[in-house]
Amino acid sequence: MQWKWISKACDTPNNLGKQNLGLPNEAQLLTRQFLERIRKRAIRFRIWFKLDRLERAAIDLTIKVVERVKNSTLAQVILRIVNKIHQWLKPTLKERALSIGRPLAIKIACLAQKWGNQKASTWINDLGFIFYLGVSWLNTSIIYRHMPSE
């Protein structure tokens, strides 16, 4: 199954830099622990009170009542609020490294797959490899950098 995904990613170079996550995958990430971390960061960076009272209440009640969001309507509402918080938050080094390293890992895995390495499809899901590529790119001098999505 990963093999089809990697060959699909290799065929469409314009989508390499974009993380195209559908609602079911994102909804699986909406756990109580995740929402508590988001709420804590929003309070720490003084973003929490920029949200509407209903948005804060929706997050608070979801944390108190639900272990994992399963309802698609609730997931859409919570994701909209989480995306709003993420827009105001400055990304951490880990988030930046993962977002930069993912398209690089896809490119490298596609190239290795074309050269005949059958295990290259697992590199796309290897967070250590993705993080390494992202940190390496961030530590590269600006003179030698090229954008990962190009």
Work out the pLDDT band at 104, boundaries 50, 70, 90: very high
Check whether residue 67 and residue 85 sit in a common domain.
yes
Q: What are the pLDDT digits (tens) for 44-69?
A: 989 999 999 999 999 999 999 999 99
In a domain, 25, yes or no: no
Instruction: For the beta carbon of residue 17, count every other beta carbon within 10 angstroms.
Output: 17
Question: How far apart, in Å, are the Cα atoms of 115 and each of 39, 78, 133, 134, 147?
Answer: 46, 43, 20, 23, 23
In a domain, 144, yes or no: no
Q: What is the pLDDT of residue 145?
A: 77
pTM for the complete prediction?
0.48
In a domain, 26, yes or no: no
Joined together, the tokens standing for residue 4 give 């089809």
Check whether residue 98 and residue 83 sit in a common domain.
no
Check whether residue 86 and residue 101 sit in a common domain.
no
Check whether residue 37 and residue 81 sit in a common domain.
yes
In a domain, 50, yes or no: yes
Check whether residue 82 and residue 98 sit in a common domain.
no
- Domain holding 65, by residue range, is 31-90
In a domain, 63, yes or no: yes
Number of structural domains found in the chain: 2
Q: What is the pLDDT of residue 12?
A: 45
Using DSSP, state whether 31 is helix, strand or coil: strand
Choice between 8 and 41, residue whose per-residue pLDDT is larger: 41
Q: Which of 77, 59, 72, 87 is nearest to 28 (CA)?
A: 72
